[in-house]
Amino acid sequence: MIRLVVGLGNPGKEYERTRHNAGFWLVERFSQASGFTLRKDPKFKALVGKNAGGAWFLLPQSFMNLSGQPVQMLAGFFRIKPEEILVVHDELDFEPGIARLKQGGGIAGHNGLKDISQRLASHDYWRLRIGVGKPPAGAEGADYVLQKPMAEDKVAIDQAIDRALQVLPEMLTGDMQAAVQKLHSGEPKPVEKKEPPKKEVPIKEPEKKAPEPQKSGGLLKSLFGKK
C-alpha cells in the first residue's frame, strides 16, 4: 500500500514547464482531478495534500538536490516506511511517451533520488519514471532537464502521465502487479525509422561518334581508282 506520493521538481515559475518538473505535473493533475488541495506547509518545506483515501501527496519546495529533507520529515512524522512511498520523477533513459513503475534500483545520477535515498537510508521506495528523452549529442543532462520540452515531446509526456494516472488507484491500494501490467501494456510501440530509398544514378552510355564525311576526292578515287 502506498501512503505517500512524492512528485519531484523545482519550485518557481522559471522551472514549472521544464522537463525536471514531470513529477510535479503528475501530482498536480491528480490533485485537481481528485478534488484535494496541495497547501504550503512550512514544517515540511513542501506543498502537502491528502486524498479521500488517506494517502499523502507531497511536492518538495526545497529544490531538487534537497528533495529528501521534506520526504524524510513527513515520512518520519507519520511513520511511513520506504516501501510505502512512491516517487514520481523525470527519466532521461526513456523517450517521451514512456512511463514505467519499479521498486528500488539505481538512481542514474538523478539528484532528487540521490538525496531521498540518503535521507531514508534506503532504495526500497517505489518509482514512477516519466520519460523525457535523452539530451542531444554534446549537451549536458543537467542543462537539458532544465529546459522546456518541444511541443511534440510535451504531448507525448502528457499522454504518459494520463496512462499513469489511470493506474495510480491500483498503486495506492498496493496492487503493484496490476498497475505494472496495465501501465506497461499501454505503452506506444516504438516507431521504426525507415531510411529513404537510395537514388540510382543512371549510367550514361558513351556517345557514338558520327562517321566523318569523306572528301569528294577520296570518294572519286574509291569509285574510279587511281589515274
Give the separation between CA 58 and CA 90, rounded to whole angstroms: 16
The grid cell for 12 is: 518557481
Q: 3-class secondary structure for 185-226?
A: HCCCCCCCCCCCCCCCCCCCCCCCCCCCCCCHHHHHHHHHCC
What is the pLDDT, as a whole number, of residue 100? 96
Write the CATH number of the domain with boundaries 4-185. Answer: 3.40.50.1470
H or E segment and range at residue 26: helix 22-34
Residue that the C-alpha cell 510535451 belongs to: 154
Catalytic sites, residue numbers: 20
What is the pLDDT, as a whole number, of residue 126? 97
What is the pLDDT, as a whole number, of residue 166? 95
Strand, coil or helix: 146: coil
Give the separation between CA 171 and CA 225, rounded to whole angstroms: 110
DSSP symbol at 19: G
What is the pLDDT, as a whole number, of residue 99? 97
What is the pLDDT, as a whole number, of residue 213? 56
Give the separation between CA 96 and CA 101, rounded to whole angstroms: 15
The grid cell for 72 is: 524524510
Mean pLDDT by 10 residues, the chain (227 residues): 97 96 98 96 97 97 95 98 98 96 89 96 96 92 94 97 96 95 81 56 61 55 50
Q: 3-class secondary structure for 42-109?
A: CCCCEEEEECCCCCEEEEECCCHHHCHHHHHHHHHHCCCCHHHEEEEEEECCCCCCCEEEEECCCCCC
DSSP symbol at 13: T
CB 131 within 8 A of CB 125: no
Strand partners, 26: none
pTM summary value: 0.82
Q: Strand order in 56-60's β-sheet?
A: 39-41, 46-50, 56-60, 4-7, 85-91, 126-131, 99-103
